[in-house]
Structure 1
């Protein structure tokens, strides 16, 4: 769920302000939008995904950054659930330098944004190789993967717990069984 406030800000002002807030916010077309927390399933999937990535990537080359800023346009900064960015960035960086993977754990209330606005914004990033949207209420992933000709017009949808998500830019595969481990689905 999101709550939008009528406070217009530029990116630099927003980043300084957001750093001092206890709640999570994004800057969307110059407007501050509060992001609410998710339920237990969201948190477990987020942890599982971060762990699966961290155990597979080359940590000297890549960094797994939960809820880290991504500059996606002239007046928009998003904070996806997971960003994989080149390792070695400055400790004072507030946004990713060249994200190669971005993942959002989706709740039913964020579906339109995660599969619509955010997908459109993220897929324009020249460094991005894979965008994942992971459902938190069922076993279902939407996967956009860049090929030599760019991203396809729509995602590949995975729903089999025995499947894996291939992430060519990182040279890894992420089993859905690990992503959904310890998640109780109805």
Structure 2
């Protein structure tokens, strides 16, 4: 982000968007201020990459398609976020090739630094988008996928290893294990073992 972000208490939307096109660091924009995005772990990248690939293959000949965390979503006139993954359609009204405005599905992979914000502040912004049909929260340290659907009044439904997740917004059903492919750490192995012992 250009020095403007650090020299003034308020940054205009126009200056923010111009800065994002040039910046090597990604920033989210909230009410006139730019906030740096933290780096992501290997597990985070595996999870986001796995789900992106599954959605891309499923949607390859359809009008709606996945986009990665390099694409901004405009949640309000003064707020821009970088979801880990979202699905948008050809009819998205945005005239900016760096921004989308009408996602039908948003996915966030949770980490210690983003857990609370993804479940509160960002959730409120995402669910207020008229286009959004589903919000998915994926833990990266335990095997747990949470799906919230507009059709179910945004009630949380939880999925664990041994079950499948249906993303109704795009008609895709995937195994929880497919989402966590290559994810391998102590907490995950213990959780998977405990789950399998209960079967």
Q: What's the TM-score, normalizing by structure 1?
A: 0.87
> Residue deviations 1:9-40, cap 9 Å, x none?
23222111111110111002221000011111
Q: Does 1:16 align with 2:54?
A: no
Report if aligned partners of 1:7, 1:32 keep a CA contact under 8 Å in 2. Answer: no
Q: Residue 129 of structure 1 corresponds to which residue in structure 2?
A: 133
Which residue, 41, 44, 52 being the options, matches 2:43?
41
Q: RCO (CA 8 Å, sep 6+): is it higher in 1 or 2?
A: 1
Q: CA deviation at 1:92?
A: 5.0
Q: Greater Rg, structure 1 or structure 2?
A: 2
Q: Which runs of 5+ in 1 are unaligned?
A: none
Change (3 A) 1:60 1:8: same
Q: Does 1:173 align with 2:173?
A: yes
Q: CA deviation at 1:62?
A: 1.2
The 1-side partners of 2:91 and 2:169 are apart by 18
Q: Does 1:85 align with 2:124?
A: no
Runs of 4+ aligned residues of structure 1 deviating over 6 Å after TM superposition are: 88-91
Higher share in strand: 1
- What is the alpha-carbon root mean square deviation over aligned residues? 2.1
Higher share in helix: 2
Number of matched pairs: 179
> Residue deviations 1:142-180, cap 9 Å, x none?
211111xx633x42222x212222221211113211110
Q: What's the TM-score, normalizing by structure 2?
A: 0.82
